[in-house]
Amino acid sequence: MRNHGDFLFTSESVSEGHPDKVADRISDTVLDAYLEADPEARVACETLVTTNRVVLAGEVRGPDHVAATLIDRAREAIKDIGYDQEGFSWRKADIANHLHAQSADIAQGVDSAGDKDEGAGDQGIMFGYATRETDSMMPAPIHYSHGILERLHDWRHNGDERGRGLQPDAKSQVTLRYVDGKPVGATSVVVSTQHDEGMSQSAIRDMVRKAVTETLPEGWMCPEESFYVNPTGNFVIGGPDGDAGLTGRKIIVDTYGGAAPHGGGAFSGKDPTKVDRSAAYAARYLAKNVVAAGLADRCTIQLSYAIGVSRPLSIYVDLDGTGKDVNEERLAKILNESMDLSPRGIRKHLRLNRPIYARTAAYGHFGRTPDKGRDDFTWENTDLAPVLRSAMGR
């Protein structure tokens, strides 16, 4: 995203009931099941969902007894999302498990042995980003797009009158106006939400308006003529009954809403030896700590890896002209020295070998805070900021 001057920028989010997010949730539920049984388990799970059908596929390496629990766990995930409809129900969906053992060739490259450290589970590039636009250090358009749907989610799950009649599938899209590179208000908001048969569109519009106005900062609401709710006029058939869903198809929703680069790899269903996931978390952690340390107002970090190789091939830092007397090349070296960026080092530092992933499957992997009493989303911590300030002589 251009971060200077006056412009409009748009990001979208989708709810946990969107077909692709249902698939992501089930894949991460499978991952959590294996990590509960063995923190060193290997999982690469892909899920397909469609009308009353779920298919699990991919590779795993872990305790044999876990496989027998996966269909029940998938049903529980669907139930928790809220699907008990004629076309997609946790009770009667046909769920097929086609997961098989991990490739020996991949295992040979990834596993540690003798003097060889554990290698990356695949080649690839990963990006992390942080900005002072919001308290979560996320870009404002994706931050508020997520926030609108999270509010509708909370109302629906808590039985709140404000969400009565809403169903799990929903999408949002927020366009913000930037002046001198800073967001100042919304120019349009689009929300489509699945609902019970017979609900009036005016009632749904009023419900959604409350969610939007309670999410956006005061005075940021768009003009009424640019506020679009269920533009097709009706949204009763939704979720996997309305459209097939696949794991990993909402990677921009998962990250920065298009405001920062994405390396291309999806997250859900992958254990943390896969740098698609763990290194993207590490890059976000480093970028957020750079901003939290007061070294810059914006920070983009790129990491690159080769399959079977433990150390990153490159570390790139871009402060987009907002650095506070910071040399980006020197900062890259300091970041590399401040955190072990091998797959094993990332997992240990961020404590990723735990069953913490089902909750990441909707409303973004970044900018999140743990539920009370939980110790997840560790990549959102800013504990490295004092170390970086000290290393930069601040």
Binding residues for Mg(2+): 20
Q: Kindly name the residue from 75, 146, 156, 250 that is annotated as catalytic.
A: 250
Residue list, annotated binding site for ATP: 18, 169-171, 243, 249-250, 266, 270
Tell me how crowded residue 81 is: count the other CB atoms within 10 A of its CB: 25
Which of 9, 88, 127, 235 is catalytic? The answer is 235
- Residue positions forming the annotated binding site for L-methionine: 59, 102, 243, 274
Residue 56 bridge partners (DSSP): 47, 97
> Is 377 one of the catalytic residues?
no
Take residue 224 and report the two structure tokens written for it.
């009424």
Residues sharing a CB contact under 8 Å with residue 162, sequence separation 6 or more, in sequence order: 155, 207, 210, 211
Q: Which of 146, 171, 277, 349 is catalytic?
A: 171
> Annotated binding site for K(+), which residues?
46
Find the catalytic residue in 9, 16, 18, 380.
Answer: 18
With beta carbons less than 8 A apart as the criterion, state whether 169 and 194 touch. yes
Q: Which of 270, 284, 288, 359 is catalytic?
A: 270
Q: Beta-strand (E) ranges in 311-357?
A: 314-318
Q: How far apart are CA 23 and CA 58, in angstroms?
A: 13
Catalytic residue among 16, 118, 241, 276: 276
18 in active site:
yes
Q: Which of 61, 146, 274, 349 is catalytic?
A: 274
CA proximity to 148, closest of 177, 176, 172, 183: 172
Q: Which two tokens stand for residue 219?
A: 């005075």
Active-site residue, selected from the candidate residues 36, 59, 76, 117: 59
Q: Of 12, 16, 20, 271, which residue is the catalytic one? A: 20
Query: Amino acid identity, residue 215?
Result: T
**250 labelled catalytic:** yes
Axis-axis angle for helices 19-37, 70-81 (nearest 10): 140
Is 210 among the catalytic positions?
no
From 36, 111, 243, 340, active-site residue: 243
The active-site residue, picked from 42, 146, 249, 284, is 249
Q: Is 280 a catalytic residue?
A: no
| Integer Cα distance of 364 and 252 in angstroms | 9
Give the residue ranges of the annotated binding site. 18, 20, 46, 59, 102, 169-171, 243, 249-250, 266, 270, 274
Query: Is 235 assigned a catalytic role?
Result: yes
Main-chain phi, psi angles of 344, to 5 degrees: -65, -40
Choose, from 16, 21, 143, 366, the residue flagged as catalytic: 21
116 labelled catalytic: no
In 3D, which of 65, 62, 46, 61 has the Cα closest to residue 107? 61
375 catalytic, yes or no?
Answer: no
Tokens standing for residue 243: 């459209």
Is residue 171 annotated as a catalytic residue, yes or no?
Answer: yes
Of the candidates 6, 295, 253, which has an alpha carbon nearest to the alpha carbon of residue 149? 253
Q: Which residues are designated catalytic?
A: 18, 20-21, 46, 59, 171, 235, 243-244, 249-250, 270, 274, 276
